[in-house]
């Protein structure tokens, strides 16, 4: 039955609703710069109408709850792209360092190889010149130094990347246990029928951070969010988190083990961890192998050419370079076998006093363009430049492309879930007016009550 008291009840409910609106608006404004915050809206509904004869009158407003405005699919896509983005970025960071070992101008491996051969060519015009022989030897030393320092330059970042793997895994574990405890809170709040917006925001935030470390798959279950790595290793299931651990493997690098004691290093992809492992276990070894192959084939071919000739003293030519017996480690292990400039086997004549012969220089020079097992010396050193350049360029292009698509996705998410100060300000005015109106209703009803009471007295 319609009465002043029921009108008062409607008005006071309206006041509460507007207060809640103002509070949520306030909270939105307060969190305008909070990372991972999803704007909230108050869900209001018309209260059921009551029938008075032929007239149906609404019973005011009901507060249904507070909702976060989010799109779960978008969040998952952002997490996925984030993990690819940070993988590409990790590769760019590591490869840019390595790229500086292979400059395209100034002193480089290829320029020192080229100088070595031109100094030999110069020796051919005057095979008895000690100065020319000394230059050849110095250039040979430069070649050796280049091989040594590039090899060291490749293993340097490699050990730095181990540290990255270690810290990444520590962070993954920390975030996993955070996610597990958030799952517990989520279930408690759900059970209590409370709004889960804040917990979900936090959970999404933790998951996005996890995604920057490695590729993850998130599944929303009745037990909270299940998080597994790209290869299916569980990190979080319900309230339980499973820690990964690191240990030095047989290759001397940090390996990642799951909680069951299985080595999952090679199965990890995406994220900073995946990108780091990719560079450390695939890209650097490939470059190292190319470098070792070049060092080995160059030194072997040159030594063989030396042995065809005779040194300045008429003795049979001996190896100029000392190299390890295996291809692996050749670049790190290559060294000059002699410091004696007369040891260069320029001569093809072993008769007495024939130091003026340059007959073997042609064989020594031929090493530059001879087709060795993996291509000529020049081709191989050019290929190395291509290899590192291509790796870096690919990773950079990938990073740029993903950054663009990530920007688009973030924009989409922002347009859906971001707090707009303009919108909140406008809402605030709207709610203020509604609140004022409801308050006016109450004061009106109060004066009506007074009128009625005065009527009685």
Partner 1 sequence: MRFNPNINAAVISDIQQSEDNLQTAFQQESTGLRVNSASDDPAASAALVQVQAQAANIDQYTANADSIIAQAQTADGVVSSVVQYLTQAITLGTEGANSDESTADKAAISAQVQGLLQSVVGLANTTYQGVSLFGGSYSGQAFTGNPTSGYTYQGNSDVNQVNVGDSLTVQVNIPGSTLFTSSSGNVIAALSGLATALTTGTTTDIGNATAAVTTALNYVTQQHAVYGNTINQLNSQETYLSQEKVTLTSRENSLVGIDPATAAEQLSQAETENSSVLAAAAKVIQNSLLNYLSPTS
Q: Of 43 and 407, which CB lies nearer to partner 1 in the complex structure?
A: 407
Comparison of 369 and 447: residue with beta carbon closer to partner 1:
369
Instruction: Check binding of 419 to partner 1 (CB under 8 A).
Output: yes
117 contributes a contact to partner 1 by CB under 8 A? yes
CA distance to 43, 199, 238, 241, per residue, from 232 (Å): 38, 25, 16, 14
Cβ proximity to partner 1: between 208 and 265 the closer is: 208
| Nearest residue to 85 (alpha-carbon basis) of 385, 410, 414, 411 | 410
For residues 169 and 377, which CB has a smaller minimum distance to partner 1 in the complex? 377
Q: Note whether 126 binds partner 1 by CB under 8 A.
A: yes
Query: Is the CB of residue 81 less than 8 Å from the CB of residue 402?
Result: yes
Q: According to the binding rule CB under 8 A, does residue 82 interact with partner 1? A: no
Our finding on whether 355 is near partner 1 (CB under 8 A) is yes
Contact 350, 316 (CB under 8 A): yes
Q: Which of 5, 16, 43, 104 lies at the binding interface for partner 1 (CB under 8 A)?
A: 104
Closer Cβ to partner 1, 96 or 163, answer by number: 96
x-or-dash pattern for partner 1, window 356-395, by CB under 8 A?
Answer: xxxx--x--x--xx--------xx-xxx-xxxxxxxxx--
Interface positions, 315-334, toward partner 1 (CB under 8 A): none
**Least Å from the CB of residue 172 to partner 1:** 26
Q: CB of 367: closest distance to partner 1 in angstroms? A: 13
Least distance between partner 1 and beta carbon 118 (Å): 4
Among residues 153, 238, 375, 418, which is the contact residue for partner 1, using CB under 8 A? 418
421 forms part of the interface with partner 1 (CB under 8 A)? yes
Would you say 41 and 200 are in contact if contact means Cβ atoms under 8 Å apart? no
The Cα 386–Cα 375 span in angstroms is 14
User: Is 344 an interacting residue with respect to partner 1 (CB under 8 A)?
Assistant: no
Residues 128-147 interacting with partner 1 (rule: CB under 8 A): 128-129
Per CB under 8 A, does 107 bind partner 1? Answer: no
Q: How far is the CB of 198 from partner 1 (least distance, A)?
A: 19
Kindly tell me which of 259 and 379 has the beta carbon lying closer to partner 1: 379
We find the least distance from the C-beta atom of residue 14 to partner 1, in angstroms, to be 22
Provide the mask over 84-103, with x wherever binding to partner 1 is found by CB under 8 A and - wherever it is not.
-----------xx--xx-xx
423 binding partner 1? (CB under 8 A) = yes
CA atoms within 13 A on the CB side of 39: 19
Distance CA 410, CA 399 (A): 16
Give me the phi and psi of 244, to 5 degrees please: -90, 160
The verdict on 354 binding partner 1 (CB under 8 A) reads yes
241 bridge partner residues: 236
- Smallest gap from Cβ 422 to partner 1, in A, equals 4
**Looking at beta carbons only, is 355 or 374 nearer to partner 1?**
355
Using the rule CB under 8 A, is 48 a contact of partner 1? no
> What are the residues whose beta carbons fall under 8 Å from the beta carbon of 29, sequence distance 6 or more?
419, 421, 424
Residue 68 is a binding residue for partner 1 (CB under 8 A): no
Residues engaged in binding partner 1 (CB under 8 A): 95-96, 99-100, 102-104, 108, 110-111, 113-115, 117-118, 121-122, 124-129, 347-349, 351, 353-359, 362, 365, 368-369, 378-379, 381-383, 385-393, 396, 403, 407, 410-412, 414-416, 418-423, 425-426, 429
């Amino acid at each position: 039955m319609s009465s002043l008291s029921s009108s008062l009840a409607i008005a006071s409910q309206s006041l509460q609703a507007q207060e809640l609106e103002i509070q949520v608006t306030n909270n939105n404004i307060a969190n305008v710069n909070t990372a991972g915050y999803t704007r909230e809206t108050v869900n209001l509904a018309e209260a059921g109408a009551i029938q008075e004869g032929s007239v149906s009158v609404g019973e005011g407003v009901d507060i249904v709850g507070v909702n976060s405005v989010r799109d779960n699919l978008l969040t998952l896509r952002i997490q996925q792209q984030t993990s690819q983005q940070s993988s590409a970025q990790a590769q760019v960071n590591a490869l840019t360092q390595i790229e500086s070992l292979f400059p395209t101008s100034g002193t480089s491996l290829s320029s020192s190889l080229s100088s070595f051969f031109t100094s030999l060519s110069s020796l051919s015009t005057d095979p008895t010149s000690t100065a020319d022989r000394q230059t050849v030897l110095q250039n040979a030393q430069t070649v050796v130094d280049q091989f040594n320092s590039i090899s060291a330059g490749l293993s340097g970042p490699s050990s730095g990347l181990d540290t990255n793997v270690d810290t990444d895994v520590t962070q993954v574990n920390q975030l996993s246990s955070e996610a597990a405890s958030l799952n517990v809170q989520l279930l408690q709040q759900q059970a209590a029928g409370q709004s889960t917006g804040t917990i979900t925001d936090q959970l999404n935030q933790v998951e996005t951070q996890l995604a920057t470390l490695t590729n993850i798959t998130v599944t929303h279950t009745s037990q909270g969010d299940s998080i597994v790595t790209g290869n299916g290793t569980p990190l979080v299931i319900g309230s339980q988190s499973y820690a990964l651990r690191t240990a030095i493997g047989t290759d001397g690098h940090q390996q990642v083990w799951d909680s069951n004691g299985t080595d999952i290093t090679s199965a990890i992809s995406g994220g900073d961890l995946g990108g780091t492992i990719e560079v450390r276990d695939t890209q650097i070894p490939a470059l190292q192998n190319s470098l070792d192959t070049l060092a080995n084939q160059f030194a072997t071919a040159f030594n063989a050419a030396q042995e065809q000739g005779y040194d300045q003293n008429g003795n049979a030519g001996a190896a100029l370079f000392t190299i390890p017996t295996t291809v692996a480690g050749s670049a790190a292990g290559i060294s000059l076998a002699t410091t004696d400039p007369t040891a260069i086997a320029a001569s093809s004549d072993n008769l007495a006093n024939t130091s003026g012969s340059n007959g073997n220089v042609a064989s020594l020079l031929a090493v530059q363009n001879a087709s060795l097992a993996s291509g000529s010396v020049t081709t191989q050193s050019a290929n190395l430049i291509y290899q590192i350049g291509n790796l870096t360029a690919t990773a950079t292009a990938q990073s740029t492309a993903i950054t663009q698509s990530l920007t688009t996705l973030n924009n989409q998410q922002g347009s859906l879930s971001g707090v707009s100060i303009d919108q909140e300000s406008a809402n605030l005015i709207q709610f203020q007016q509604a609140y004022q109106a409801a308050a006016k209703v109450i004061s009106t009803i109060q004066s009506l009550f007074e009128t009625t009471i005065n009527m009685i007295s």
